[in-house]
């Protein structure tokens, strides 16, 4: 998993563990939504996220559903190992960051991660091999 690109961001919130975790959760759900439906606004996960008003409790709730979501949708299950790894990393960073609520900074970081999820997901996992090989490495 390549997370060095996060160091290029100057935002103070993204310098914290919680900020990185929230941003990565956004990337995760953004790419999951893309896998569910090419028109992201029609993806089931998109409809379940409360953009702009998300709190830490609701984000943790959504992250705890990742294992269930992976196997509920065919387009998502082929990357199950990678989704699991990214969800675990995001969760660990959020836990390490303390229990601050998301507020404006967290909601913004999540939304930016979500909006750029399809591109950043493959930046994190370096899409250099076939999807089959990448999935096997992720398991």
| pLDDT (0 to 100) of residue 127 | 67
The H-or-E segment that residue 106 falls in is helix 103-115
Residues 6+ apart with CB under 8 A from 51: 107, 110, 111, 114
| pLDDT (0 to 100) of residue 61 | 94
Mean pLDDT for the chain overall? 87
pLDDT in tens, 62-84: 999 998 888 887 767 788 899 99
Which residues of the chain have a pLDDT value below 50? 129-139
The token pair at 21 is 């975790």
**Torsion sign across C-alpha atoms 48, 86, 74, 71:** negative
* Phi/psi at 50 (5° precision): -100, 75
**pTM of the complete model:** 0.86
CA distance 135 to 27: 18
């Amino acid at each position: 998993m390549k997370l060095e690109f996060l160091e290029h961001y100057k935002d103070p919130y993204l310098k914290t563990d919680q900020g990185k975790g929230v941003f990565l959760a956004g990337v995760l759900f953004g790419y999951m939504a893309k896998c569910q439906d090419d028109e992201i606004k029609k993806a089931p996960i998109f409809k379940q996220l409360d953009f702009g008003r998300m709190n830490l409790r609701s984000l943790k709730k959504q992250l705890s559903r990742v294992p269930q979501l992976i196997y509920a949708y065919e387009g998502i299950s082929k990357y199950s190992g990678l989704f699991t790894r990214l969800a675990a990393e995001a969760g660990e960073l959020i836990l390490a960051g303390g229990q601050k609520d998301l507020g404006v900074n967290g909601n913004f970081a999540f939304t930016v991660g979500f909006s750029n999820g399809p591109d950043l997901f493959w930046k994190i996992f370096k899409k250099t091999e076939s999807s089959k090989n990448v999935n096997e490495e992720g398991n």
